[in-house]
């Protein structure tokens, strides 16, 4: 080791001496790992062609965004087994010369590579560091493009690779006259970028380009602003950011950490402190994750990982304890991702400054869906009854967005997630959804989801509910409403599977009331057409539809509670479920009592079902008989006798023909050849008073199927009303004939006005 250090010291002194003699000689430290021929090569950047920047808006896509593929080079700098893993993730674009393609294909096949996911791109290359010289993919507005720069190595084939892939994809390429390298560039996909100060040093030293111009060109060609340029904490020859740091998400950065005893410890801490106190694109300081490295010559290249769709490939070092800690940090920072440790025991094995990230480069999905929610809610928010979430959705596929799949998912105080549909704001690509139902000091998690017609889906944050956006609503004391929240009816009767029942929530207070949730006790209840929380304004009525989906059992009603949670407290609606067994006979479906409380209630419908499900016995309905009174008339759904097959229903319309003063109850029975069904009928006469006609005044025929006549010596005028109080006919005379053939079937009230002003009301049945 001492001998090696002495040789290194001698070389360094020679380099310093030579540079002092001729300041045009290359910086050997900066160009470490170059051959002697490369060190003296003057062709660096000679083939570069500068162009104007994009005329559209550029967006430099982040590594953690959707990728259609990954670029590698053959001969390989990565293990063949890793190529096999990558080929099961996405397309592998392998740069290979034509003379070596068959060899590459044979190598991949022997290694178990999925060859259907391999595309060979024939091109000459000088090295396998495709991260450094590969094309920088951007979107210009909605179209893919490539930005080329001057590669800071005198390797002309590598430096030409951007043009190779621009031709391969048939997309535009823009020449940005800056000396740069992919290993010293990371971006968040939303305009923030990070490099260390090598980018300033090289451009000033080699081309006389100052810092301000560097920043301006990064903005013009790549849309990078702000551009975070830090010191190089590693202090190594290569000065690449991916040797010590990495974007894991727009608000997450991974920074290596050395033991305090290491001389470089303070520089790593300085960079980590910078990001911990610098706002990310979403308006709050970065979450800084630290990955421990032992320092020295122990191999630990953990930040030099590759994020590819929902997998992170992490290069593994020589210390297993540090390896496991590094994988754990990635898993903590990126929940829901698969974290894969990758060893490299080949002759091109990993190094601390050159590992997996340096030798691969992702290819963005040209048809991705981009969810761009910039104004992220965080910290404590000022109170408002509902809070808007605004996001842009960019479908680079050119397909339409799925309007019903643009959603805000949110959870209040750790509860289940609710959804809010987003609607267009009128600004290009912009939609808004509203979070509701929280209280003062509520803790709210949320994320935004979108989908388009091409099948692309995306969330922000990409971790969705595993690591959502989070904010707190400020303390708020809502005013005490005057009045009450009314729920009617308070009991729902369910008599068959698939049945819908409704109840109303009426806000009779003077303030808005939040219906937080409706939570049925029975899992077989479903809510139809309601999204909660729902803000119910004063005087507003919310109709809640409950559907019962479990098959019936025994002939009893089982009570279930339906909990209605509101900002004024909880209320209970009872759900009564009829449990009907097999072969239970011909049964009443619904409540066995018909109530006539209003003129509009007539007719009422009675419903029965043949529930001989097991024995499949048909039921013959023979007759319908009122028991002891003569208040009712009946209209069955078909001519009696009527055959009802198993599982079929029988309907009977019931009319009130005559009323008695006060509240009367009668019954009627439906007779069948199997068993009888008896209904009770409650009639409130106070709402509908009928006086009998005098003997000399006649109304005939009644019931009628068409024309009817009112005749009497004292008749002056006839008025006919339906049961909702609308006048349908009026005529004068002692004999009045009226054609009712076009009228709706049902009961009508005929007011017969006599010459002395007396009014006699008679019920008319039109069939």
pLDDT (tens digit per residue) in 143-172: 999 999 999 888 999 999 999 999 999 999
What pLDDT does 714 receive? 83
What average pLDDT does range 506-519 have in this prediction? 89
* Per-residue pLDDT tens digits for 431-466: 999 999 899 999 999 999 999 999 999 999 999 999
- Of the chain, the percentage scoring pLDDT greater than 70 comes to 85
- Tell the residue number behind the tokens 């122990």, with chain if given: 298
The pLDDT assigned to 725 comes to 57
The pLDDT of 473-502, averaged and rounded, is: 81
pLDDT at position 38 is 53
Per mean pLDDT, which range of 254-263, 268-277, 577-586 is the poorest? 577-586
- State residue 136's pLDDT score: 98
Q: How far apart are alpha carbons 594 and 605 in whole angstroms?
A: 8
Q: Is the pLDDT of residue 498 over 70?
A: no
- CA 724-727-730 angle, to 5 degrees, is 155
CB within 8 Å of 693: residues ≥ 6 apart:
699, 712, 752, 760, 762
Distances (CA, A) of 243 to 44, 127, 196, 303: 24, 18, 11, 6
Cα–Cα–Cα angle for 134, 135, 140, nearest 5°? 165
Mean pLDDT over 203-226 rounds to 96
**Cα gap 213→221, rounded to integer Å:** 12
What pLDDT score does 44 carry? 60
Weakest mean pLDDT among 347-351, 448-452, 583-587, 681-685: 681-685
Spatial separation of the C-alpha atoms in residues 267 and 256, rounded to whole Å: 11
Sign (positive or negative) of CA dihedral 266, 267, 269, 270: positive
* 503 has a pLDDT exceeding 50: yes
Q: Return the DSSP state at 111.
A: T
Q: What one-character-per-residue DSSP string does 439-500 give?
A: -TT-EEEEEEEEEBTTS-EEEESTTGGGS-EEEEEPP--PPPPSS-EEEE-SEEEE-STTEE
Fill in the DSSP letter of residue 533. S
Is a pLDDT exceeding 70 seen at residue 614? no
Q: Are 300 and 293 in contact (CB under 8 A)?
A: yes
**pLDDT tens per residue across span 38-50:** 545 555 666 789 9
Does the pLDDT at position 10 exceed 60?
Answer: no
Tokens of 440: 């003062």
Better pLDDT: 486 or 45:
486
Q: How confident is the model at residue 482 (pLDDT cuts 50, 70, 90)?
A: confident
Q: Do residues 663 and 686 make contact, with C-beta atoms less than 8 angstroms apart?
A: yes
The predicted structure's pLDDT at residue 627 = 83
Tell the residue number behind the tokens 């029942």, with chain if given: 501
* pLDDT interval class at 742 (50, 70, 90): confident
DSSP string, 356-393: TGGG-EEEE-TT-EEEE--S---EEEPP-SEEEEEEEE
Name the DSSP class of 744.
P
CB neighbour class for 369 (10 Å; exposed up to 12, middle 13-18, buried from 19): buried
Q: How confident is the model at residue 418 (pLDDT cuts 50, 70, 90)?
A: very high
Cα–Cα distance measured from residue 245 to residue 328, given in angstroms and rounded to the nearest whole number: 16
Question: CB of 608 within 8 A of CB of 580?
Answer: no
**Residues ≥6 apart with Cβ < 8 Å to 643:** 618, 619, 620, 621
Residue whose entry in the numeric block shows the structure tokens 């008989």? 625
CA distances from 751 to 481, 592, 598, 721, 754 (A): 47, 33, 18, 8, 10
The Cβ of residue 711 has, within 10 Å, a number of other Cβ atoms equal to 16
- pLDDT for the residue numbered 663: 47
Q: Round to whole Å and give the CA distance between 615 and 443.
A: 58
- Answer yes or no: is pLDDT of 12 > 60: no
Residue with tokens 């001519």: 639
Element (H, E) at 82: helix 80-87
Cis status, amide bond into 75, omega within 30 of 0: yes
Average pLDDT over residues 257-282: 96
Residue 23 pLDDT more than 50? Answer: no
**Residue 626, beta-bridge partner list:** 668
State the pLDDT at residue 664: 61
Which pLDDT band, with edges at 50, 70 and 90, does 7 fall under? very low
Average pLDDT over residues 236-248: 92
Q: What is the pLDDT of residue 20?
A: 36
Q: Could you tell me which of 140, 66, 118 has the C-alpha nearest to residue 454?
A: 66
Catalytic residue among 90, 94, 280, 358, which? 358
Beta bridge partners of 90: none
- Among 180-184, 572-576, 610-614, 644-648, the range scoring the smallest mean pLDDT is 610-614
pLDDT above 60 (res 25):
no
User: Which percentage of the chain shows pLDDT scores above 90?
Assistant: 58
Residue 598 token pair: 């209003």
364 vs 346: CA distance, rounded Å: 29
Average pLDDT over residues 56-76: 97
The pLDDT score that the predictor gives to residue 451 is 96
Average pLDDT score, the chain: 86
Query: pLDDT band at 550, cuts 50/70/90?
Result: low
- Output the pTM of the full model: 0.64
User: Please, what is the Cα angle at 357 between 35 and 9, to 5 degrees?
Assistant: 40
49-77: string of b/e by CB count within 10 Å (b at 16+)?
Answer: eeeebbeeebbbbbbbbbbebbbbbbebb
Alpha-carbon torsion, ordered 697, 703, 706, 708, to 10 deg: 0
* Residue 164 confidence (pLDDT): 96
Model pLDDT for residues 109-129, shown as the tens digit of each residue: 999 999 999 999 999 999 999
**pLDDT (tens digit per residue) in 305-323:** 999 999 999 999 999 999 9
Output the pLDDT for position 518.
87
Cα–Cα distance between 686 and 390 in angstroms, integer? 57
Structure confidence at residue 46 (pLDDT): 65
358 as an active site residue: the answer is: yes
Q: Residue 66 has which token pair?
A: 């959707």
Please work out, in degrees rounded to the nearest 5, the angle formed at the alpha carbon of residue 68 by the alpha carbons of 66 and 73.
120
Kindly report the backbone phi and psi dihedral angles of residue 387, in degrees, each rounded to the nearest multiple of 5, phi listed first: -120, 130
């Amino acid at each position: 080791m001492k001998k090696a250090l002495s040789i290194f010291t001698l070389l360094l002194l020679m380099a310093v001496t030579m540079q002092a003699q001729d300041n045009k000689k290359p910086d050997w430290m900066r160009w470490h790992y170059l051959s002697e021929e490369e060190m003296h090569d003057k062709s660096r950047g000679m083939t570069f062609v500068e162009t104007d920047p994009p005329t559209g808006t550029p967006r430099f896509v982040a590594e953690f965004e959707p990728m259609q593929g990954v670029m590698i080079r053959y001969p390989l700098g990565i293990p063949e087994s890793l190529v096999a893993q990558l080929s099961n993730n996405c397309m592998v674009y392998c740069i290979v010369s034509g003379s070596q393609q068959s060899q590459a294909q044979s190598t991949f096949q022997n290694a178990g590579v999925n060859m259907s996911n391999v595309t060979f791109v024939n091109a000459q290359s000088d090295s396998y560091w495709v991260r450094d010289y590969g094309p920088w993919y951007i979107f210009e507005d909605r179209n893919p493009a490539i930005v080329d720069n001057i590669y800071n190595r005198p390797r002309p084939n590598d430096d030409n690779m951007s043009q190779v892939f621009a031709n391969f994809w048939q997309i535009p390429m823009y020449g940005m006259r800056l000396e740069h390298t992919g290993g010293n560039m990371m971006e968040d996909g939303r305009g923030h970028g990070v490099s260390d100060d090598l980018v300033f040093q090289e451009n000033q030293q080699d081309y006389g380009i100052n810092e301000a111009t560097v920043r301006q060109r990064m903005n013009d060609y790549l849309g990078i602003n702000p551009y975070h340029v830090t010191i190089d904490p590693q202090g190594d020859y290569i000065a690449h950011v991916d040797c010590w740091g990495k974007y894991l998400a727009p608000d997450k950065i991974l920074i290596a950490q050395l033991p305090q005893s290491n001389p470089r410890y303070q520089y790593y801490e300085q960079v980590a402190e910078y990001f911990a106190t610098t706002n990310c694109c979403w308006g709050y300081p970065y979450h800084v994750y630290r990955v421990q490295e032992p320092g020295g010559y122990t191999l630990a290249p953990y930040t030099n990982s590759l994020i590819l769709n929902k997998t992170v490939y992490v290069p593994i070092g020589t210390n297993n304890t540090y390896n496991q800690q590094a994988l754990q940090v990635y898993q903590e920072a990126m929940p829901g991702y698969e974290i894969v440790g990758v060893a490299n025991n080949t002759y091109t094995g990993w190094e601390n400054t050159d590992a997996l990230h340096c030798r691969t480069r992702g290819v963005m999905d040209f048809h991705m869906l981009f969810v761009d929610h910039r104004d992220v809610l965080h910290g404590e928010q000022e109170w408002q009854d509902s809070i808007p979430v605004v996001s842009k959705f960019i479908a680079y596929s050119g397909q339409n967005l799925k309007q019903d799949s643009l959603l805000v998912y949110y959870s209040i105080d750790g509860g289940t997630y609710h959804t809010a549909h987003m609607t267009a704001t009128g600004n290009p690509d912009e939609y808004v959804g509203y979070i509701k139902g929280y209280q003062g000091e509520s803790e709210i998690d949320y994320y935004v989801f979108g989908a388009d017609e091409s099948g692309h889906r995306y969330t922000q944050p990409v971790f969705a509910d595993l690591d959502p956006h989070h904010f707190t609503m400020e303390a708020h004391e809502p005013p005490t409403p005057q009045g009450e929240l009314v729920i009617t009816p308070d009991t729902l009767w369910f008599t068959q599977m698939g049945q819908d029942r409704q109840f109303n929530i009426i806000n009779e207070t003077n303030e808005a009331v939040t219906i937080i949730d409706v939570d049925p006790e029975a899992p077989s209840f479903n809510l139809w057409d309601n999204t909660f929380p729902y803000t119910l304004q004063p005087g507003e009525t919310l109709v809640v539809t409950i559907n019962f989906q479990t098959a019936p059992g025994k002939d009893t009603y089982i009570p279930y509670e339906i909990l209605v949670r509101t900002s004024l407290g909880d209320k209970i609606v009872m759900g009564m479920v009829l449990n009907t067994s097999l072969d239970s006979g011909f049964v009443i479906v619904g409540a066995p009592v018909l109530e006539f409380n209003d003129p509009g209630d007539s007719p009422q419908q009675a419903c029965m079902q043949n529930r001989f499900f097991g024995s499949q016995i048909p039921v013959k309905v023979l007759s319908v008989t009122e028991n002891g009174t003569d208040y009712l008339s009946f209209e069955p759904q078909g001519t009696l006798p009527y055959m009802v097959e198993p599982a079929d229903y029988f309907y009977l319309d019931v009319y009130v023909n005559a009323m008695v003063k006060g509240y009367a109850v009668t019954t009627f029975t439906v007779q069948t050849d199997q068993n009888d069904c008896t209904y009770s009928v409650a009639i409130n006469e106070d709402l509908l008073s009928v006086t009998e006609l005098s003997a000399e005044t006649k109304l005939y025929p009644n019931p009628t199927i068409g024309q009817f006549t009112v005749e009497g010596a004292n008749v002056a005028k006839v008025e006919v009303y339906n049961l909702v109080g609308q006048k349908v006919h009026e005529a004068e005379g002692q004999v009045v004939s009226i054609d009712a053939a076009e009228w709706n079937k049902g009961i009508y009230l005929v007011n017969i006005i006599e010459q002395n002003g007396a009014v006699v009301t008679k019920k008319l049945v039109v069939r």
